[in-house]
Amino acid sequence: MSFNQTALQACFFFIFLAFSASWTGAAPSGSISTTPNFVVIFIDDLGYGDIQPAPFGSTINETPNLNRMAAEGMVLSSFYVGAPVCTPSRAALMTGCYPIRVGLAKGSGHAVLFPGDTHALNPDEVTIAEMLKAAGYATGCYGKWHLGDADGFLPTDQGFDEYFGIPYSNDMWPGHSSWPFPGLPIMRDKEVVDEVKTMEDQATLCRRFTEAAVDFIRSNKDTPFFVYLPHAFVHNPRAASPDFMAKAKDATEGEIEEVDWSVGQILQTLRDEGLAENTLVIFTSDNGAAPGCSSGVLRGRKGDAWEGGVREPTLAWWPGRIPAGSTSDEIMTAMDLLPTFAKLSGAAVPQDHVIDGKDITDLLLGKEGATTPHDRVYYHKGTTLHAVRSGPWKCFRNGELYNLEEDLSETTDVSAAHPEIVARLTGYIQEFEAEIAAHARPVGIVTNPRTLLPRPGVEGEAAYTPTLFLQSSKKVPKKKAAAQD
């Protein structure tokens, strides 16, 4: 063989390699060559206007890590959670279902679950963690659970290999002004290993949960994993780590900026371990802005069926898969994560009961022409269905109608000009209520409930009486108490 022939063959060989590499990089959207990891960062009470990336647009809080996440990934500007308060929103995320379908549209006697509650997420439900664990994933939960604090209903009973966090909201502690709460436990798996006793303890929660999640990622870098990081921040009472408090004007700003730091720690760990291009990360909040936080341009806040109650500041990041610097205003929901993770991982979606979430893989991967799989989404407050959205139209059950594409702040009721749309959407409300009545599933029931820690100053078994079995020990209006839930 001559030198020229050898050189020519070598040339063709390298051209082939280059072509192969470019073809692999241009694989069709949704074609995943390896099993991806999943990270869901779920902030508590963060509002639509609390982070900097457009269109959220905070001018108060510095969020450089979220800014970078948005620049490297996708902004989801019409992303909804299942409810405007904690427990039902988390139930929707974990099960892919409207909270009312799984019996957790509210707690047993309040808007959310309380310490020692008789209700919890039913173990018969299939969570994201259970679905992925069955597909060979390592699963870890770090932070606020709020779906049941009794044995049999904790994260390690619901598909997580390990858990480190608090079982319910961080304001459910003896420092609350209206309720006789027990101590606030920090748990590892099923054991109470520490207690949040002071505001200084509160300030450590973001860092501790972040560090636990980082350790889990590093320990499981050689196997597919699912990390659920439901922060206690930025729920009241608020106190950030000293470094963040020192440069913030108040505790709210300090906590939001520490949450941003947490995101940076997670993403940098993924980069350092060579996992970034095989990991989908979702950042969002469990409900709209609590007092002190911002709904931005949206009307309403936590607890409302207005957009400010359930439309969340959301980012998706997956280098090389999600188009960098992209934005989608298509309707997506937290319920969609379960079927989407199933599609991407090859895990089996539960087939024996209704799932309300839809696969949004094509939207996340930026497939040309992809549109929302939802022809309608519903807004609940507790067990009451308040409104429905279909396309640009949002209709309340009282007949008020808003065009969200033209009037995102819901300032102008246009029902008089569009009676046919009001009739169609109120019909959707009636249809859904009838469907739920036929296909709702039971809530989990706790027998012999008791709190994990005692109430201060109470002796014996009475110290472990479930909070809702007791009347408020102080004459503070319950409306004030509910604002903290």
Residue pLDDT, tens place only, 380-404 = 999 999 999 999 999 999 999 999 9
327 lies in the same domain as 409: no
Q: Is the pLDDT of residue 99 over 70?
A: yes
Tokens representing 125 are 């439900």
State the pLDDT at residue 310. Answer: 98
Q: Quick check: 52 and 451 in contact, CB under 8 A?
A: no
* Mean pLDDT (whole number) for 284-295: 98
β-bridge partners, 390: 393
The count of structural domains within the chain is 2
State the pLDDT at residue 33. Answer: 46
Q: Among candidates 180, 102, 214, 203, which has minimal Cα distance to 147?
A: 102
State the pLDDT at residue 50. Answer: 98
Picking from 333, 364, 395, the residue at the C-terminal end of a domain is 364
Q: Quick check: 198 and 225 in contact, CB under 8 A?
A: no
**What pLDDT, in 10s, does the model give residues 189-217?**
999 999 999 999 999 999 999 999 999 99
Picking from 309, 342, 364, the residue at the C-terminal end of a domain is 364
State the pLDDT at residue 90. Answer: 98
Least confident stretch, 29-38, 74-83, 145-154: 29-38
* For the chain, percent of residues with pLDDT exceeding 90: 89
Q: Is the pLDDT of residue 19 over 60?
A: no
Q: Is residue 392 part of a domain?
A: yes
Name the one residue in this structure whose structure tokens are 């102008």: 412
Tokens representing 254 are 């300090």
Chain-centre distance for alpha carbon 17: 42
Give Cβ neighbours of residue 57 (< 8 Å, ≥ 6 apart). Answer: 49, 296
83 lies in the same domain as 226: yes
Q: Is residue 1 part of a domain?
A: no
Q: Which domain holds residue 226?
A: 37-364
What is the sign of the dihedral through the CA atoms of 396, 399, 402 and 404? positive
351 lies in the same domain as 391: no
Give Cβ neighbours of residue 128 (< 8 Å, ≥ 6 apart). Answer: 40, 93, 94, 96, 159, 226, 228, 337, 338, 341
**What pLDDT, in 10s, does the model give residues 117-174?**
999 999 999 999 999 999 999 999 999 999 999 999 999 999 999 999 999 999 999 9
State the pLDDT at residue 27. Answer: 33
CATH number of the domain bearing residue 282 = 3.40.720.10
222 lies in the same domain as 307: yes
Q: Is residue 413 part of a domain?
A: yes
* Mean pLDDT (whole number) for 418-430: 98
State the pLDDT at residue 427. Answer: 98
β-bridge partners, 282: 40, 316
State the pLDDT at residue 117. Answer: 97
404 lies in the same domain as 272: no
Tokens representing 448 are 């012999």
Residue type, 116: G
Picking from 315, 332, 364, the residue at the C-terminal end of a domain is 364
Q: Quick check: 312 and 45 in contact, CB under 8 A?
A: no
352 lies in the same domain as 404: no
Q: Is the pLDDT of residue 5 over 50?
A: no
State the pLDDT at residue 485. Answer: 55
Q: Is residue 192 part of a domain?
A: yes
307 lies in the same domain as 422: no
Q: Is residue 20 part of a domain?
A: no
* Mean pLDDT (whole number) for 72-76: 98
Q: Is the pLDDT of residue 114 over 90?
A: yes
Omega into 414 within 30° of 0, i.e. cis?
no
Least confident stretch, 29-43, 270-284, 325-339, 401-415: 29-43
The pLDDT confidence band at residue 11, using thresholds 50, 70 and 90, is very low
298 lies in the same domain as 391: no
320 lies in the same domain as 206: yes
State the pLDDT at residue 471. Answer: 65
State the pLDDT at residue 260. Answer: 98
Q: Is the pLDDT of residue 25 over 90?
A: no
* Mean pLDDT (whole number) for 67-86: 98
Residue 19, CA distances (Å) to 12, 34, 161, 403 in order: 10, 21, 42, 48
49 lies in the same domain as 196: yes
Least confident stretch, 29-33, 323-327, 391-395: 29-33
Which phi and psi (to 5°) does residue 10 adopt?
-60, -40
Q: Is residue 4 part of a domain?
A: no
CATH number of the domain bearing residue 408 = 3.30.1120.10
State the pLDDT at residue 71. Answer: 98
State the pLDDT at residue 476. Answer: 38
Catalytic residues: 86, 146
Q: Is residue 434 part of a domain?
A: yes
Whole-structure pTM value = 0.91
129 lies in the same domain as 263: yes
109 lies in the same domain as 228: yes
Q: Is residue 73 part of a domain?
A: yes
Tokens representing 90 are 């988390």
Using H for helix, E for strand and C for coil, what is the string for the chain?
CCHHHHHHHHHHHHHHHHHHHHHHHCCCCCCCCCCCEEEEEEECCCCCCCCCCCCCCCCCCCCHHHHHHHHHCEEEEEEECCCCCHHHHHHHHHHCCCHHHHCCCCCCCCCCCCCCCCEECCCCCCCHHHHHHHCCCEEEEEEECCCCCCCCCCHHHCCCCEEEEECCCCCCCCCCCCCCCCCEEEEECCEEEEEECCHHHHCCHHHHHHHHHHHHHHHCCCCCEEEEEECCCCCCCCCCCHHHHHHCCCHHHHHHHHHHHHHHHHHHHHHHCCCHHHEEEEEEECCCCCCCCCCCCCCCCCCCCCHHHHEEEEEEECCCCCCCCEEECCCEEHHHHHHHHHHHHCCCCCCCCCCCCCCCHHHHCCCCCCCCCCCCEEEEECCEEEEEEECCEEEECCCCEEECCCCCCCCCCCHHHCHHHHHHHHHHHHHHHHHHHHHCCCCEECCCCCCCCCCCCCCHHHHHCCHHHCCCCCCCCHHHHHCCC
Cα angle 411-427-356, degrees, rounded to a multiple of 5: 90
